[in-house]
């Protein structure tokens, strides 16, 4: 038996970075400033007629920056994006990269405004030397305020200037950190008679880039505008079916062998709309060809009654998911080492290729069929990879780790989490494309499922083992990982094989979830990364048993459990899965006061936070638990919007892959083969 996996953590390098307790420091700085009268920094007025002093109680100008599009020179980490500085929340903030000058943050007011006041609410990482600047085009800037003696806390500035864009441009930090603002407030009013009334030009050369039996992928040339194009509206006939910020869109849920007509219009920030592009007729492919049987966006398998989805048009939810998938695919899907292989790379793992990533890739590729014309090609390349990298213990399973030369390493044995998703992905592929092509997906799936049962399932407990490398008599034989407990996969395995043993396995895992929640997390519903003593009295790991001192906490494995539990709850309506998902949802919603920005990185089972910060692997899965509670629509919407606002972390396949699969379910596109 290989011991390689005793220290394996496919995502251990994603351990949270330490964050200093800045909120308290900022509060102290604000208090000191208020007491000593040092709240506004010494400053130098620049440009004629500009004053730089604290705003008085005279006629209060109007706040015009809240919720406006905001960009920044850099972001310290996920959860500190520029939009946090204009969200009217004193508990969220923008933070730049640390230790680097210069940095800036820019607000787009949409139209030209007369600016009379700017208020900067600094976190402890403040600007010592900075300027406030305005611009009409986002390129040429005019200084309306500057200082070289900034001292943090709150800078409430009276300025005189005009422009559509307002920027804080920092050139010298006041601390060793970066620049960070709780809020960046701009006050003023639209320029009288100066509103933008010029519409963008029409988008050019609308064309089809791909079709399937159920989808049409479109692209067009960018429109131009006197100020700037902010988006495009896509029309099928006279009906708007979606929006795009870029110059491409995939329309899904179409009928085979049917002609559809499309046009696209451009929009600017003032709401002006262009004339329509050229009209385009697109005919979908015949049914039964290479098109998918359950194309992304078709929604032919509805969720259980009462399940929530994020607010908004279904087409918009689908397109946001497609957009994120496109970024994920670009960041992580590769064709390395030849041999017809596709792989999902894992830059944040111990090795460049891990089974967990390939399993994610297979499930995602099969699900996105109909939205991505290359889905089957990618899936087949991943399938060839799994066939060509067999486990050294059971060749019908996948070796868990490969090096940069695409060779299996560390004993070449299997890991249960990857194998579960590989088998499930093959079942999805069989339903999507049938098994009469290059690969007999169904036969491969059944071989994989039977191999899981033989070498990755403990026959005495009916609970999953850590991998095929653990055998009777070793110290890991009665340890199981909660993130491997994929209840909907067990249902699919039962259907595919006809083996009632999978019903027993499913029930055993659901019972463990219920018992662990009741006995060890009665107030939170959280599960631990690892469970020990599964042959006697199962309990959370007492400390490090495989990966980390937090093996018994809600940490980098268990953070996936709300997603896995809820996937079954929304598709099966199973009472146990619903109860388990709702329990953890009620706790996290109450813990954060309905603010997803307060979701931390890791918790003890009693709800005590382990680490500060924000990570998609932690906040995204809670969205699916929220879907199970009819009273959590606002909470679900907040979580969905946080996912949309969080830029994809191209250094972490782990978090990005989790968020993508959460978005697939949240948008109504998860289904069980």
Marked catalytic residue, from 417, 421, 468, 568: 417
Percent of the chain scoring above 90 in pLDDT:
68
Q: What pLDDT shows up at residue 343?
A: 97
pTM of the model: 0.65
Q: What's the length of the chain?
A: 673
Rounded to whole angstroms, the Cα distance separating 455 from 457 reads: 6
Q: Is the pLDDT of residue 623 over 90?
A: yes
Q: What confidence category does residue 60 fall into, taking pLDDT thresholds of 50, 70 and 90?
A: low
Cα Rg of the chain (Å, integer): 27
The predicted-structure confidence for 340-353, as pLDDT tens digits, reads as follows 999 999 999 989 99
Q: Is the pLDDT of residue 1 over 50?
A: no
Vertex 315: Cα angle to 624 and 109 (nearest 5): 90
Asked about 87 being catalytic, the answer comes back as: no
Is the pLDDT higher at 482 or at 240?
482
Q: What pLDDT shows up at residue 290?
A: 52
Q: Is the pLDDT of residue 378 over 70?
A: yes
How far from 420 is each of 26, 278, 487, 663, CA to CA, in Å?
Answer: 47, 47, 11, 20
| Bond preceding residue 102 cis, omega within 30 of 0 | yes
Q: What pLDDT shows up at residue 332?
A: 97
Percent of the chain scoring above 70 in pLDDT:
90
The predicted-structure confidence for 105-114, as pLDDT tens digits, reads as follows 999 988 888 8
The predicted-structure confidence for 452-478, as pLDDT tens digits, reads as follows 999 999 999 999 999 999 999 999 999
Q: What pLDDT shows up at residue 14?
A: 36
Rounded to whole angstroms, the Cα distance separating 243 from 249 reads: 8
Q: Is the pLDDT of residue 139 over 90?
A: no
Beta-bridged to residue 172, according to DSSP, are: 129
Average pLDDT, the chain: 88
Q: What pLDDT shows up at residue 98?
A: 87
Q: What confidence category does residue 498 fall into, taking pLDDT thresholds of 50, 70 and 90?
A: very high
Q: What confidence category does residue 288 fall into, taking pLDDT thresholds of 50, 70 and 90?
A: low
Beta-bridged to residue 190, according to DSSP, are: 113
Marked catalytic residue, from 356, 396, 401, 421: 356
Rounded to whole angstroms, the Cα distance separating 132 from 627 reads: 43
Specify the range with the lowest mean pLDDT, choosing from 40-44, 388-392, 602-606: 40-44
Give the closest residue to 284 by CA, choosing from 261, 315, 318: 261
Asked about 356 being catalytic, the answer comes back as: yes
Q: What pLDDT shows up at residue 194?
A: 52
Q: What confidence category does residue 390 fall into, taking pLDDT thresholds of 50, 70 and 90?
A: very high
Q: Is the pLDDT of residue 42 over 70?
A: no
What 3-state class would DSSP assign to 371?
coil
The predicted-structure confidence for 186-219, as pLDDT tens digits, reads as follows 999 887 655 678 889 999 989 887 777 788 888 8
Is the pLDDT higher at 44 or at 545?
545
Q: What pLDDT shows up at residue 51?
A: 35
Task: Scan for tokens 């099966």, then name that residue.
Answer: 572
Phi first, then psi: what are they for 634, rounded to 5°?
-65, -40
The predicted-structure confidence for 232-252, as pLDDT tens digits, reads as follows 999 999 888 888 888 888 888
pLDDT (average), residues 560-573: 98
Q: What pLDDT shows up at residue 457?
A: 98
pLDDT (average), residues 492-511: 97
Q: What confidence category does residue 529 fall into, taking pLDDT thresholds of 50, 70 and 90?
A: very high
25 burial type by CB count under 10 A (0-12 exposed, 13-18 middle, 19+ buried): middle
Sign of CA dihedral 563, 569, 575, 579: positive
Q: Are 623 and 563 in contact (CB under 8 A)?
A: no
Instruction: For residue 645, count other CB atoms closer than 10 A to its CB.
Output: 16
């Amino acid at each position: 038996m290989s011991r390689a996996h005793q220290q394996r953590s496919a995502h251990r390098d994603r351990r949270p970075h330490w964050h200093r307790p800045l909120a308290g420091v900022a509060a102290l700085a604000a208090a000191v400033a208020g007491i000593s009268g040092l709240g506004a920094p010494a400053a130098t007025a620049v440009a004629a007629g500009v004053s730089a002093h604290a705003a008085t109680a005279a006629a209060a100008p109007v706040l015009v920056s809240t919720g406006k599009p905001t960009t920044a020179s850099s972001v310290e980490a996920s959860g500190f994006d520029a939009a946090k500085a204009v969200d009217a929340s004193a508990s969220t903030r923008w933070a730049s990269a640390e230790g680097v000058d210069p940095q800036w943050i820019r607000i787009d007011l949409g139209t030209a405004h007369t600016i009379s006041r700017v208020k900067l609410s600094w976190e402890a990482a403040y600007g010592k030397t900075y300027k406030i600047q305005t611009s009409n085009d986002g390129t040429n800037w005019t200084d309306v305020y500057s200082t070289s003696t900034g001292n943090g806390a709150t800078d409430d500035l009276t300025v005189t200037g005009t422009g559509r864009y307002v920027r804080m441009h920092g050139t010298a930090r006041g601390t060793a950190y970066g620049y960070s603002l709780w809020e960046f407030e701009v006050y003023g009013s639209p320029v009288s008679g100066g509103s933008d009334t010029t519409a963008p030009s029409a988008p050019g050369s609308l064309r089809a880039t791909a079709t399937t039996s159920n989808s049409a992928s479109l692209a067009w040339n960018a429109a131009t505008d006197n100020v700037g194009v902010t988006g495009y509206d896509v029309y099928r006939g006279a009906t708007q079916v979606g929006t795009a910020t870029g110059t491409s869109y995939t329309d899904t849920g179409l009928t085979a062998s049917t002609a559809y007509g499309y046009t696209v219009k451009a929009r600017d920030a003032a709401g002006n709309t262009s004339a329509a592009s050229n009209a385009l007729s697109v005919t979908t492919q015949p049914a039964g060809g290479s098109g998918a049987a359950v194309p992304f966006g078709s929604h032919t398998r509805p969720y259980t009654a009462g399940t929530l989805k994020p607010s908004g048009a279904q087409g918009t939810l689908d397109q946001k998911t497609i957009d994120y998938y496109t970024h994920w695919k670009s960041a992580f899907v590769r064709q390395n080492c030849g041999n017809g292989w596709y792989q999902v790379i894992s830059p944040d793992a111990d090795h460049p290729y891990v089974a967990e990533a390939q399993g994610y890739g297979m499930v995602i590729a099969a699900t996105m069929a109909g939205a991505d014309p290359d889905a089957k090609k990618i899936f087949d390349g991943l399938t060839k990879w799994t066939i060509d990298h067999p486990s050294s213990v059971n060749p019908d399973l996948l070796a868990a780790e490969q090096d940069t030369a695409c060779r299996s390493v560390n004993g070449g044995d299997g890991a249960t989490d990857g194998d579960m998703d590989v088998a499930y992905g093959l079942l999805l592929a069989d339903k999507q494309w049938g098994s009469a092509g290059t690969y007999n997906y169904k036969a491969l799936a059944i071989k994989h499922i039977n191999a899981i049962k033989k070498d990755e399932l403990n026959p005495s407990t009916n609970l999953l083992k850590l991998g095929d490398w653990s055998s009777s008599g070793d110290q890991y034989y009665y340890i199981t990982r909660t993130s491997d407990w994929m209840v909907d996969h067990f249902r699919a395995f039962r259907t595919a094989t006809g083996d009632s043993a999978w019903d027993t396995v499913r029930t055993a895992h659901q019972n463990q979830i219920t018992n662990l929640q009741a006995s060890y997390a009665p107030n939170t519903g959280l599960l631990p990364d690892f469970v020990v003593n599964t042959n006697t009295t199962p309990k959370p790991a007492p400390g490090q048993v495989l990966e980390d001192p937090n093996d018994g906490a809600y940490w980098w494995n268990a953070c996936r459990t709300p997603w896995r539990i809820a996937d079954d709850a929304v598709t099966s309506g199973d009472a146990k899965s619903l109860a388990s998902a709702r329990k953890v949802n009620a706790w996290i919603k109450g813990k954060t006061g309905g603010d997803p920005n307060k979701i931390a990185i890791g918790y003890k089972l009693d709800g005590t936070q382990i680490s500060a910060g924000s990570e998609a692997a932690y906040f995204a899965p809670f969205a699916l638990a929220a879907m199970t509670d009819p009273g959590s629509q606002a909470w679900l919407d907040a979580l969905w919007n946080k996912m949309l606002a969080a830029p994809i972390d191209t250094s972490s396949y782990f978090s990005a892959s989790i968020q993508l699969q959460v978005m697939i379910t949240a948008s109504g596109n998860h289904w069980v083969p």
